[in-house]
Amino acid sequence: MQQQAAQVGKTTPAPMGSVDAALSHALALLGQQPAAALEQAGEILKAVPGHPMAQLIAGSAQRQLGNTDAALAMLGELADRQPKAAAVHYELGVAQADAGRGDAALASLRHAAALNPQLPGVWRELAGHLSAAGDSRSAGQAWAQHLAMSSRDPRLMQAGAALCANEIPQAEALLRAHLREHPSDVAALRMLAEVAARIGRYGDAETLLVHCLELAPGFTDARAHYAIVLDHLKRPLEALAQVEQLLKDQPRNPNLRNLKASALLETGEFEAASVLYAGLVAEYPQQARIWLSYGHVLRTLGRQEQTIAAYRRCIALEPGRGEAWWSLANLKTFRFTREDIAAMEQAAGLPDASDDDRLQLHFALGKAREDAGEYRQSFEHYRQANDLRRAQLPAGSQGISRLVERSVALLTPQFLQERAGAGCSNPDPIFILGMPRAGSTLVDQILSSHSQVEGTMELSDLTTLVRGLSGAAGDGRQARYPDTLADLVPEQLRELGAAYLERTRVQRKTTRPFFIDKLPNNFQHIGLILLALPNARIIDARRHPLACCFSNYKQHFARGQAFSYGLEDLGRYYSDYVALMAHVDRVAPGRVHRVHYEALVEDTEARVRALLDYCGLPFEDACLRFHENKRAVRTASSEQVRKPIFRDGLDQWRHYEPWLGPLKVALGPVLEAYPAVPASMA
């Protein structure tokens, strides 16, 4: 506050020379004794009614004492009289935030930053509110401004300026040079962690922040960033612990509540996350990104009407936000109006539309035209969407042929026999794997309706363990997964299986003995499952190649699935998947149970009974009434599995057959042999 005093305008000179001294005294009291500061400011205002600095101190003191209404009245009136006083608008923004008026707080803080960009506190507050509003990019820029403004070291100021301009190499060089001379400078450590996080080096960011907090446990900004990094590293329980520690002192902090909601989502606590998001949208009703996040949680909980309303609200605020339109389309059961189609086409045609917005609008338009029976126009929209997305992906990220070849070479009958009895014997996991959009969510919903099986979600824990097996080999060569599996002794395999169970424990909310991991891509790690978790059940959900592949082509995935944005890539990927699973059938017969989607639709009860028999579970009628299961579902099929099985989707791909030639060629004999596999693979 002392640094901001000069920003406040002055009235007629005070009749008493003691006013300046009284103001200085009030300012000194404000930080530790707000009640005394309020009393002192009140005395000044009696002598000089309307004195702006005294009124600012009084308003700030009222806020600190929890008298939010009084603070808002006092600071609001002062802001009207002092429209160019950055300190006033800053204090008003903080008071508005305390009152839960997030949108108003954002406006006041932005105004304060525009009036005086040199105030570091304004940028810190603004960064928190932008993050709470879901605008992580702008929040990062505001935080970088805060770092640049709060340092008095020329090199750190330069590094902060480089961060603001997103000149990462320059910022990193400046910070490393500074830390060589001042290794315990926590501000520099925090800034370098920001650099590491921006380029995806979250492990490095974690190391830096741990050291930073060892040196300065009370560095709250560093602890908040540590929570964000832990969330990115898929360690939500640790992230929650950090956030809860911060919330003890700042229970109303919107950024911390947003961080908590994100971590809760990762632990499967969707109801608790929805409560937090409901509070945030009430405080930030004009922020489209929060409405979008809120809609995603509501969808997971199966609250369709509220979900649609949240997505509609996001669109009303930002008509060109492609993700909101695609989120409506991705409900699968939602139908667009002609007015919606016109609005989407207009948004997609805007010259300033981003590629991300445009591609998601085209995916949504593809679905809208499909529902209208306009298949040629629909395919053209899907084609444009996929072309835009594929252009964003790194070259060579679309295939798994080499991984499959190495897996087939490694997983011989002798190799598996030599390791029989190794691994963790716990039978808890049930893996549902295969291609995305092949019916895995349906199988998951059926099984999780059983009294002994707990449904979770698509878990990334196996993939995380695989990353640890892909480092340098012992002799210094770069290790190549899955070849590294051959170097593991039985104890290491047991440790891997136990580590998987420990990592997934956070997702288990009941005492049911079995749980489901339904990440489709886990088929790529079938060898690791067989070795590390030899008693786990493995279910291969399979669907007609053209139906499955084209369903992927119509889908915009939140992350991964790089193979799904080209028809030829899809055909090759599907063929590689079939080849690997056929090999496993040969070398480990009976270990994998296959569920063909078409057979499940045509003869549901028989297929469900066979599925339960494979899992060693008694038949329960609830598995046939899976659509009555009220559990949270976090996949593209979330709305479809809340309805009884229907045949309508089996042949939907046939409407697009004139344009699927490249896919058919890439599938080759796999298409011709379905539901069997080609003789060359059998």
3-state secondary structure 83-95: CCCHHHHHHHHHH
Question: What's residue 471's pLDDT?
Answer: 59
Long-range interactions of 605-611: CB distance < 8 A, separation 24+: 608/446, 611/443, 611/446, 611/447, 611/539
- What's the rounded Cα separation, in Å, for the pair 526 and 519? 12
Give 478's DSSP letter: B
User: Tens digits of per-residue pLDDT, 561-571?
Assistant: 999 999 999 99
pLDDT over 50 (residue 473): no
Question: What's residue 532's pLDDT?
Answer: 97
Question: What's residue 630's pLDDT?
Answer: 64
pLDDT over 70 (residue 491): yes
User: Tens digits of per-residue pLDDT, 623-642?
Assistant: 999 888 665 554 544 455 44
Give 183's DSSP letter: T
C-alpha dist (Å) from residue 42 to 53, 89, 289, 627? 11, 21, 42, 65
User: Tens digits of per-residue pLDDT, 36-82?
Assistant: 888 888 888 888 888 988 898 898 899 999 999 999 999 999 999 99
Q: Kindly report the number of other CB atoms within 10 A of residue 483's CB atom.
A: 14
Q: Sketch out the chain's domains with CATH numbers.
A: 2-258 (1.25.40.10), 401-673 (3.40.50.300)
- What's the rounded Cα separation, in Å, for the pair 252 and 302? 28
C-alpha dist (Å) from residue 422 to 138, 241, 488? 50, 35, 10
pLDDT over 70 (residue 366): yes
Closest CA to 229 of 216, 211, 215: 211
HSE-up of 157 (CA within 13 Å, CB side)?
8
Closest CA to 279 of 133, 140, 137, 139: 133
For residue 57, the one-letter residue type is: I
Q: Are 33 and 5 in contact (CB under 8 A)?
A: no
| Dihedral sign from CA coordinates of 185, 186, 189, 190 | negative
Provide the b/e sequence for 307-332 (b: ≥16 CB within 10 Å).
bbebbebbbebbebbbbbbbbbbbbe
Q: Are 486 and 410 in contact (CB under 8 A)?
A: yes
Structure tokens at 318: 């930002």
For residue 672, the one-letter residue type is: E
- Is 484 in a helix, a strand, or coil? helix
Residue count of the chain: 682
* Cα pseudo-dihedral 574, 578, 584, 586, rounded to 10: -160
Strands 514-517 and 453-454: parallel
Mean predicted lDDT score pLDDT of the chain: 90
Band of residue 487 on the pLDDT scale cut at 50, 70, 90: very high
> Mean pLDDT over residues 577-599, rounded?
97
Band of residue 31 on the pLDDT scale cut at 50, 70, 90: confident
> Mean pLDDT over residues 165-179, rounded?
91
Q: Are 178 and 155 in contact (CB under 8 A)?
A: yes
- What's the rounded Cα separation, in Å, for the pair 495 and 532? 8
Closest CA to 642 of 372, 295, 331: 331
pLDDT over 70 (residue 589): yes
Band of residue 644 on the pLDDT scale cut at 50, 70, 90: low
3-state secondary structure 343-359: HHHHHHCCCCCCHHHHH
- Is 432 in a helix, a strand, or coil? strand
Band of residue 648 on the pLDDT scale cut at 50, 70, 90: low
The backbone region for 373, taken as left when phi is positive above 0, alpha when psi lies in -120 to 50, beta otherwise, is left
Q: Kindly report the number of other CB atoms within 10 A of residue 365's CB atom.
A: 27
Percent of the chain with pLDDT over 90: 69
pLDDT over 50 (residue 613): yes
pTM summary value: 0.84
Question: What's residue 646's pLDDT?
Answer: 63
